Amino acid sequence: MDKPALRLPRPPCDDGNGALRPRGVSLPKKIFYDPSQQFYCLDGSGQFPFHFVNDDFCDCEDGSDEPGTAACKNGVFNCLNHGHESVNLPSSRVNDGICDCCDSSDEYRSSADCLNNCKELGEKALEAARAVREKFLKGEEIRNEYIKLGKEKKDEYRALLKELNKQEKEALKVKNEKQDEKENAETRENVILAKEREFKKAQQKRMAAEKRRLIEHQLQEEADGHKAFSELDINKDGKLTPNEIKVFNRFDYDGDGKVSDNEVQFYMHKKDEMSLDEFLSNGWKIMKPAFTMEDTEEKAQDLPLDKEQKSLPVTDDSKIPADDNEKIEILKDAALARKDFADADKLYRDIQAEIWHLKRKLDADFGEEDEFLVLETQCLEFSEKHYLYRLCPFDKVIQVVKVSNEETLIGLWENWGSGEEHYKRMKYTRGASCWNGPNRSVEVQLQCGTENKITSIEESSPCTYVFEFTTPALCKTLPPDIKKILKNDLDFMY
């Protein structure tokens, strides 16, 4: 296209404050358009006399010389929209017969019958922004209460942890004392029972039973080891590797949310791979605690009283003469000493478990000011036609079939989002496997609201769910777009 012989500049437009500027130029860019000087393309691609601006011919590669015409394909037209929000449009939409600007400035040479309704739209936007601000202020007030409750709860946890540490020391002391008493009582018991023929038979029977239990235990251990190895061996090549171990969060010993290289080396015995035989002989011993928790009650009762009473003639007067009170008392004392030790051992382990859980809570990320801690003990539900969803923050997400009441785990707490979305996203992974598909997972998208509520649920892809969730805990900063609308509101003092 040839340049026109004569260039006639378009008349400037009023910026609303009595100052003139070329049509389509936004107020922040006004300084680059000085009629008394040469015009320089904003990308540096050239310079021209100022009357080349808005002459309906594209001279600059970035289209910056034609902000008010459709001459440049990549040009940008600014709608000032007094009374409402200023917006930028592709300059190709200038004078195209469609009203894009509420002040109708984009259709200054077209036949479009545009009305300036910026004032009405601005009033509606302002009213909506005020409503958002009102909701935000209520949410912020609740959030401040959450922060207070979170601090009190953390202080309560610390005080309880301090007390439990004292109890742990005392419980260990009592456990050791009861163990000494048990061993002394069992020594006296064995001396007495050694004199009785029935004791020998009972002892042999007990040893045979213990041997059977040992064999059963060994078989079970081997079966459990095979099962665990099969689970860990993701690619089914018969070998475990550090990368396979890293996949399983159960090996996160320090609870920082990921399986570190040090943790992998610990469980892999610092080896690059581990075969099934090596796993069963060495690896399973150290990895087993990560699969199962110890049953303290069963462990505390290594010598069950009911079985011993069946095999030991404690109350059988035909085997122990009723007049031999010393024998009877020794047997009773031994049984009581075993029970006392089992109780002391269970108490000690229960205290240790509670200390472990408390430390996890104290180290967990419940927000910058622990404002999300109040959600830890709550479970929220959302009902659809066929399913009921139950979200327990920092724990799990369950899907319930309404007809059968069957529950399916669709996610376990993993971590927060990353970057700017840190406290706006919750990730729940490791849910039950889908039929011929991946493990179920959930992403919870958080928004500021005056109550803790699930507002919508969508299965964005097979077995992947997205929850919309409102909570006062996120009412910390008013959204920038709302601030922008309210900046000229005389009532807006936030």
Q: What is the 3-state secondary structure (H, E, C) of the chain?
A: CCCCCCCCCCCCEECCCCCEECCCCCHHHHHHCCCCCCEECCCCCCEECHHHCCCCCCCCCCCCCCCCCCCCCCCEEEECCCCCCCEEEEHHHCCCCCCCCCCCHHHCCCCCCCCCCHHHHHHHHHHHHHHHHHHHHHHHHHHHHHHHHHHHHHHHHHHHHHHHHHHHHHHHHHHHHHHHHHHHHHHHHHHHHHCCHHHHHHHHHHHHHHHHHHHHHHHHHHHHHHHHHHHHCCCCCCEECHHHHHCCHHHCCCCCCCCCHHHHHHHCCCCCCEEHHHHHHHHHHHHHHHHCCCCHHHHHCCCCHHHHHHHCCCCCCCCCCCCCHHHHHHHHHHHHHHHHHHHHHHHHHHHHHHHHHHHHHHHCCCCCCCCCHHHHHCCEEEECCCEEEEEECCCEEEEEECCCCCEEEEEEEEEECCHHHHHHEEEEECCCECCCCCECEEEEEEEECCCCEEEEEEEEECCEEEEEEEEHHHCCCCCHHHHHHHCCCCCCCC
CB atoms within 10 A of CB 20: 13
| Per-residue confidence (pLDDT) for residue 3, from 0 to 100 | 52
CA distance 449 to 131: 12
Predicted TM-score (pTM) above 0.85 = no
Report yes or no: 105 and 23 within 8 Å, Cβ to Cβ.
yes
Task: Classify 463 in phi/psi space as left (phi over 0), alpha (psi -120 to 50) or beta.
Answer: left
Amino acid at 9: P
334: its two tokens = 């031994």
| Per-residue confidence (pLDDT) for residue 64, from 0 to 100 | 94
| Per-residue confidence (pLDDT) for residue 148, from 0 to 100 | 95
| Residue among 295, 305, 79, 284 at smallest CA distance from 186 | 305
Task: State residue 139 phi and psi, 5-degree precision.
Answer: -65, -40
| Residue among 392, 371, 373, 372 at smallest CA distance from 381 | 392
Diameter of the chain measured on Cα atoms: 135
Q: How far is CA 388 from CA 16, 233, 462, in A?
A: 55, 35, 18
| Per-residue confidence (pLDDT) for residue 199, from 0 to 100 | 59
From first to last of the 494 residues of the chain, give the pLDDT tens digit. Answer: 455 545 555 555 554 444 478 999 988 899 999 999 999 999 999 999 999 999 999 999 999 999 999 999 999 999 988 888 889 999 999 999 999 999 899 998 888 888 898 888 888 888 888 888 888 889 888 999 999 999 999 999 999 999 999 999 999 999 999 999 999 999 988 888 777 766 577 678 888 888 888 998 888 888 888 988 888 888 999 899 988 888 888 888 787 888 888 888 888 888 889 998 888 888 888 888 888 644 434 444 454 544 444 444 444 444 444 447 888 899 999 999 999 999 999 999 999 999 999 999 999 999 999 999 999 989 999 999 999 999 999 999 999 999 999 999 999 999 999 887 899 999 999 999 988 778 999 999 999 999 999 999 999 888 999 999 999 998 887 777 666 666 765 455 44
| Residue among 443, 445, 446, 444 at smallest CA distance from 472 | 446
CA distance 252 to 246: 9
Beta strands 464-471 and 441-448: pairing type? parallel
